[in-house]
């Protein structure tokens, strides 16, 4: 489990710095199952999780929603029959902040907790 999963988000302002190249390399190493996607010029973290059925997928999505609400940092969540795709990015800065990596690690930790 990543040390990031034990951290909490800090309040993110519109002028908060985006993660730089060196920090990105370091942080992505702590969440190796996540990929970086760029959509409309915005870098995002994304991972797809596989489950045995829709009920398990929906339960996981609800648990992701609960930790997102606790931290006040909300992802895009796509729930399909046996799959959940979670995408984290910081809307205010239109890119990646350390908070996104914390939440990605906490999302992974939900699997370990199940």
Q: How far is CA 40 from CA 53, 60, 74, 95, 98, in A?
A: 32, 28, 19, 10, 20
Check: CB of residue 5 under 8 Å from CB of residue 108: yes
Helical (H) or strand (E) element with 69? helix 54-71
Mean pLDDT by 10 residues, the chain (114 residues): 63 81 95 96 97 96 97 95 96 93 96 73
Domains of the chain and any CATH numbers: 37-114 (3.30.1360.20)
- The model's pTM is 0.91
């Amino acid at each position: 489990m990543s040390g990031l999963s034990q951290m909490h988000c800090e309040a993110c302002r519109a002028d908060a710095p985006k993660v730089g190249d060196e920090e990105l390399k370091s942080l992505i190493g702590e969440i190796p199952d996540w990929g970086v996607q760029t959509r409309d010029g915005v870098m995002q973290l994304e991972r797809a999780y596989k489950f045995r059925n829709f009920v398990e997928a929906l339960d996981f999505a609800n648990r992701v929603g609960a930790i997102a609400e606790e931290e006040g940092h909300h992802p895009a969540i796509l729930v399909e029959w046996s799959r959940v795709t979670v995408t984290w990015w910081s809307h205010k800065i239109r890119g990646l902040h350390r908070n996104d990596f914390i939440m990605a690690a906490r999302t992974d930790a939900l699997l370990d907790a199940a």
